[in-house]
């Protein structure tokens, strides 16, 4: 399931977010997650999307082999 939401940024907030994501691109995923957690608040809920994703033949075996 995928949750869809949006948040409007003013120019100052957007530029700050852009700079911080650029600065953190070469660091750990945990640092990026922390940054997104700060910005992903008070978002406007838009809806949910759910699809059935059936794997093609041999995909589960290939994944298990890796």
Tell me the pLDDT of the chain (66 aa) as tens digits: 789 999 999 999 999 989 998 888 777 788 888 888 988 999 999 999 877 667 677 777 777 776
Could you give the residue ranges of the DSSP H alpha helices within the chain?
11-24, 29-39, 59-65
Domains contained in the chain, number: 1
* Residue 27, phi-psi category: left (phi > 0), alpha (psi -120 to 50), beta (remainder): beta
Quote the domain boundaries for residue 8: 2-65
Q: What is the pLDDT of residue 44?
A: 96
Confidence (pTM):
0.54
43, 41, 19, 23: which is closest to 31 by C-alpha?
23
Predicted local confidence at residue 53, as pLDDT: 65
Tokens of 24: 């953190």
The per-residue pLDDT for 19 is: 92
């Amino acid at each position: 399931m995928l949750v869809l939401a949006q948040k409007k940024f003013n120019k100052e907030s957007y530029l700050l977010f852009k700079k911080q994501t650029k600065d953190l691109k070469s660091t750990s995923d945990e640092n990026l997650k922390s940054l997104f957690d700060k910005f992903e608040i008070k978002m406007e809920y838009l809806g949910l999307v759910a699809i059935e994703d059936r794997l093609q033949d041999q995909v589960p075996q290939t994944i298990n082999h890796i």
